[in-house]
Amino acid sequence: MRSFHLPWFRINTKTDSTKITQSLFVLFGIFFLQTVLAADPVVIKFSHVLAASTPKGMAAEKFKELAESYTKGSVRVEVYPNGQLYKDRDEMVALQLGAVQMLAPSLSKFGPLGIRDFEIFDMPYMFPNKTTLYRVMDGKIGANLIAKLESKGIKGLAYWDNGFKQMSANKPLRNAEDFKGLKMRIQSSKALDAQMRVLGASPQVMPFSEVYAALKNGEVNGTENTLSNFQSQKIYEVQKHMTLSDHGYLGYAVIVNKTFWEGLKPDIRAQLEKAMAEATRYERRIAQEENENALEKLRATGKTEIYILPNESRRIWQQALLPVHDQFAEVVGRGTIQAVYKIAAEVEKEEKLNKDNNSSAKAKK
Ligand code: SIN
C-alpha cells in the first residue's frame, strides 16, 4: 500500500475519493487566499497643481492616510502635487482617459469641459460669507452641479475650500478705475474674464504654474488669488501691491474617473467615501487657518504693500461688478442666482438674530 506524507495530512491511495476531494479543496482554498492576500492594491493617482503645504495639498495627504488605513492597504493613494504630473489644461483630460484617478481642480476650471454652471462660484461678491457658501455647496445647488459631471465621465465626491480672493498688481488698486489697462491673469472662466473686463482690465487665461514667471517678466501685470496661494507661490516677490477685497471665491471639487470609481468593490468604495468625508472636514477647517497664517507671512516679507479695502470702497466695487451677475444669468441659471441671494439673506438674518440674542444675554448678566 502506497501512501504520501504531507506535513498536515496523509493521503492513502486506498482511502475513499471523498477524502481526496476534501483535501484538494483545502489546498485550493489556501492557494486562493494567498493569491487574494498578495493581490496588488488598487492605486489612486491624485494629481493637483498646488504645493503640498496648502490646504488642498494637506487634505490630499490626509485623504491618502485615511483611505489607506480604512481599506487596510487594499488601496494605495499616490499624491502628485505642484502639477508635476499634469498642469491645468491637461489634468481633466488625463482624468477622463484614466491616466489619473483623482483631481481637485478649482471650481473656475470646469468651463472648458463644457460645464459652465460652476461659474456661479465665480460671480463677484456673490457669497458674503463661508456659511452661505457651504449651504450652497452642501445643498441642492451643489448636488445638481456635481451631477452634471457624470455625462463627462466624471464623479464628484466633495467640495473643498480655499477662500476669498484678493487682487494684486505693481500699482495700488484702490478704486475700480485703477484696473484700467492692466493685464490681469485669470483662471479659465468666462465669468472671471467678464469680471476683469467690467473693471477695464485685459484678462489673460493662464495655468497656475505659469503665473509667477508671467508676473516677473511682465507678460501680465496683476492677478487675483487667495492669500494661501499668493504666499505658497511667492507672488509677493513679483507684486508690490495687494488689495484685500474678498471680491470672489476660490474652492475645489474633488473628482474621480467615473468608470474607475464605479468599478471598485462596494465595501472599498464605502471606506473611501468615509475617508473623503473626514478629509473634507479637515480641509475646510485648515483652509481658514492657512489663509490667516498666509496673511501674517505675507506681511512679514515686507515686500508687498497690503491695503484693506474700506467698506465704502467695497460697496463701490460691488456696484461696479454687479452687472456680471446679470450678464451670466443665462449661463449659470437665473434661478440659481436667485436661490443663492435667498440663502445669503437667510444667513444674514440668522447672524443678526444670534448677535441680538448674544447682546441681550450679555445685558442681562
Ligand atoms: C488652485 O488653487 O488649485 C489654483 C488656482 C489658480 O489657478 O489660480
| Structural domain boundaries in the chain | 3-36, 41-360
How deeply is 110 buried, as exposed, middle or buried, from its count of CB atoms within 10 A (0-12, 13-18, 19+)?
Answer: buried
359 Cα–ligand 1 center, Å: 40
Q: Which SS3 state, helix, strand or coil, does residue 221 take?
A: coil
Tell me the per-residue pLDDT of 215-230, one tens digit each, with 9 for 90 and over: 999 999 999 999 999 9
Q: Please state, in angstroms and rounded to a whole number, the distance separating the CA atoms of residues 115 and 96.
A: 14
Rounded distance from Cα 66 to ligand 1 centre (Å): 25
Q: Is ligand 1 within 6 A of the CB of residue 108?
A: no
The tally of CA atoms less than 13 A away on the side-chain side of residue 311 is: 1
pLDDT along the chain (365 residues), means of 10: 40 55 59 57 97 96 98 98 93 97 98 96 98 98 98 98 98 97 98 98 97 98 98 97 98 98 98 98 96 96 97 97 97 98 98 88 80
Give the tens place of pLDDT for each residue, 289-298. Answer: 999 999 999 9
Q: What is the pLDDT of residue 32?
A: 52
Q: Is the CB of 168 under 6 A from ligand 1?
A: no
Say if domain 41-360 classifies as CATH 3.40.190.170: yes
What is the Å distance from ligand 1's center to 106 Cα? 6
| Per-residue pLDDT tens over the stretch 304-331 | 999 999 999 999 999 999 999 999 999 9
Ligand 1 pocket residue status of 204, Cβ below 6 Å: no
The residue contributing the CA closest to ligand 1 atom 3 is 106
